[in-house]
Structure 1
Amino acid sequence: MNVVFKILDPKDIHLIIPLVFELNKGNIPETTLKIRFSEMVTQNYECAVTFADGELIGVCGLWFCTRHYSGKSVELDHVFLKEGFRGKEIGKQFINWIEAYIKSKGYETMELNAYVNNHKAHKFYMNDGYDILGYHFLKKLQK
């Protein structure tokens, strides 16, 4: 299997919509995802992807910022690898590639959120040296 990791050209951002739709179990309509990703690529956002034999199988959003507690930081967002490709070390290779890419840009830390009930992801990240620092809270504002 030929596996390739790269940063997606912003003009091709629509390619990741099916994967992010699957990650969110269809709870966010694809039309909404298209609008949001079109906005995201104009902000401090890049998208890392992985292909296996030409098929898009993985995605990871990268938010670049400076935080008071961690310095120059990149927050990994919507990290997803298609189910048939899990457990084959591709996820580990993808995260290692992302880490090297982020270091090459001069960033000091990586952070992320994982859904509370995603215990496999928790184990994966903890095995990779991530520490749990707190809870992520979200409040939807009424219009």
Structure 2
Amino acid sequence: MQITFKLLNTEEAEIILPYLDLMNSQKVPMDVLKERFSEMLAQNYEAFAIYDGDQMIGCFGLWHMTRHYCGKSLEPDHVYIEESYRSKGIGAQLFQWIETYGKEKGVTTIELNTYIENFPSHKFYYNQGFIARGYHFLKKI
């Protein structure tokens, strides 16, 4: 395996939409998903594809922000690796890459959200050195 992480420009970023749709537990229609994704790309967001050689096997996004309590930070979002590639160390490699990438950009903190019922991700993030500091609340209006 030759795993690489590629920053996607705005024109090519839509190639990860099928993965976003797979993670789409709220069943957001594809046209709405595309519209929202386009808005994200115009904000402090970067889209990435994960490749094994020349085959795309996953995706992730990074939100860039400055927060009063932790300074410059990155927030990985919608991390997805195809099932046949899971438990092969790619996630650990990815988060090491994100940490290095963040340091190069002057980031001091990486934050993320994960669903409460996604227990495998909790174990993974603990193993990567993350600590749980709170709950993410949501209210649709």
**TM-score, normalization by structure 1:** 0.93
- Over the matched positions of the two proteins, sequence identity in percent amounts to 48
Aligned-residue CA RMSD (Å): 1.3
How far is the alpha carbon of 1:109 from its aligned partner?
0.5
Q: How many pairs align?
A: 141
Q: Secondary structure at the match of 1:57?
A: strand
| Partner residue in 1 for 2:137 | 137
Q: Secondary structure at the match of 1:92?
A: helix
Does 1:61 find its partner at 2:61?
Answer: yes
| Partner residue in 1 for 2:85 | 85
Runs (4+) of structure 1 moved beyond 4 Å?
none
Q: Secondary structure at the match of 1:46?
A: strand
Q: Which stretches in structure 2 are left out of the alignment for 5+ residues?
A: none
| Partner residue in 2 for 1:95 | 95
Q: Which stretches in structure 1 are left out of the alignment for 5+ residues?
A: none
Contact 1:13–1:38 (CA under 8 A) maintained in structure 2: no
Separation of aligned partners in 1, 2:26 and 2:13: 18
How far is the alpha carbon of 1:136 from its aligned partner?
0.3
AA matched with 2:122: H
Q: 1:1-143, aligned counterparts within 5 Å?
A: 1-25=1-25, 27-141=27-141
Q: Secondary structure at the match of 1:116?
A: coil
Q: CA offsets, 1:44-94, max 9 Å, x none?
A: 111122111322212111111111111101111111111111001111111
